[in-house]
Amino acid sequence: MRANSMVILVIALVLGGIAAFLTRSFLLNRTPDASVTGTIVVAASRLPFGTDLTADNVREIPWAAGNIPATAFLSKKALFKDGRRIALAAIEPDEAILNSRITGPGQRATLSTSIDQDMRAIAVRVDDVRGVAGFIKPNDRVDVLHIRSEAGSQGRKESSDLLLQDVKVIAVDQISAEEKDKPLVAKAVTLEVTPQQAQKISLASNIGHLSLILRKAGDSGIVANSTITESDLREGETGANRGAPAKAETVGQAPAPMPLDATVTIIRDLESQDYKVVKEVR
């Protein structure tokens, strides 16, 4: 009996060793070899928007071959082979030079090169108030508010609508980079919109004026639009009680007339008897 147990134990150990070996071989075949590296082009120093890329301000560094971004450049020769390149956004030191962050070969760093595919750029006239006191910067996201005045039977009626939501800012006045830390009071903000949205902005600016609402970074939520009118500005009122008739005043109201008779109860020797008394009317 003891010999059988030893045989079973030996067989179990052999099978366990084989399973461990096969598992290790499988994992090694699926895991990229970290020792296999290539090269990638990164910024040698900070490259602000509009900076010409040169052999001196970029460099090649080793990079794991299996993790190289698809739009990265593997060598300086590949980066400059077709012509001059310019940074379309600020690139930090040791940040990979990606095709989407620079111009095409020989292109200028103009606003048109930074607009996404199938999108358009349109300028919105603002002042220090409607431009959120100058705190809007390129690459911020904003909502566009449309305020208009319409003639009605009871005079002019003011109203406000959320015209567009979650719109990207691509330039403030003539600045399309995020270099300034201080607020910039602008006269115009350029937005990246679809062709249909551009039509809406152009029409809305002719029949009213536009204001911008700065969105929290990373907030892409869309809310239902509801038209706000002057009647909605009365703080504390709701649709349920707005316009309800006021209650009648009770101050100074005439008192109710006194009854003309009364009942008096007289108790004698533990017996009670009621008598009705009629008030004399003069």
242-272 residue pLDDT tens: 444 544 444 455 556 666 666 767 666 656 6
Closest CA to 136 of 78, 214, 190: 214
Q: Which of 109, 126, 151 is the last residue of a domain?
A: 109
Q: Is residue 248 part of a domain?
A: no
Answer yes or no: do 161 and 173 share one domain: yes
Answer yes or no: do 147 and 224 share one domain: yes
Q: Which of 48, 83, 109 is the last residue of a domain?
A: 109
Closest CA to 77 of 55, 102, 49: 55
Q: What is the pLDDT of residues 146-190, one digit of tens each?
A: 998 887 677 778 889 999 999 999 888 766 555 555 556 668 889
As a whole-number percent, the residues of the chain with pLDDT over 70 amount to 72
How far is residue 140 from each of residues 4, 89, 165, 214, 256, measured CA to CA in Å?
76, 14, 12, 8, 70
Answer yes or no: do 175 and 227 share one domain: yes
- Would you place residue 277 in the very low, low, confident or very high pLDDT band (cuts 50, 70, 90)? low
Answer yes or no: do 159 and 120 share one domain: yes
Answer yes or no: do 105 and 152 share one domain: no
Answer yes or no: do 90 and 127 share one domain: no
Answer yes or no: do 137 and 228 share one domain: yes
Answer yes or no: do 46 and 156 share one domain: no
Q: What is the pLDDT of residues 203-253, one digit of tens each?
A: 999 988 888 989 998 888 888 888 888 888 776 555 444 444 544 444 455
Q: Is residue 249 part of a domain?
A: no
Q: Is residue 48 part of a domain?
A: yes
- Structural domain boundaries, residue 101: 37-109
Answer yes or no: do 42 and 152 share one domain: no
Query: 134 near 183, Cβ under 8 Å?
Result: yes
Q: Is residue 197 part of a domain?
A: yes
pLDDT given at position 97: 94
Answer yes or no: do 130 and 203 share one domain: yes
Q: Which of 109, 134, 149 is the last residue of a domain?
A: 109
Answer yes or no: do 119 and 221 share one domain: yes
Closest CA to 140 of 190, 82, 206, 74: 190
DSSP string computed for 189-205 = EEEEE-HHHHHHHHHHH
Answer yes or no: do 43 and 105 share one domain: yes
Tally of domains within the chain: 2
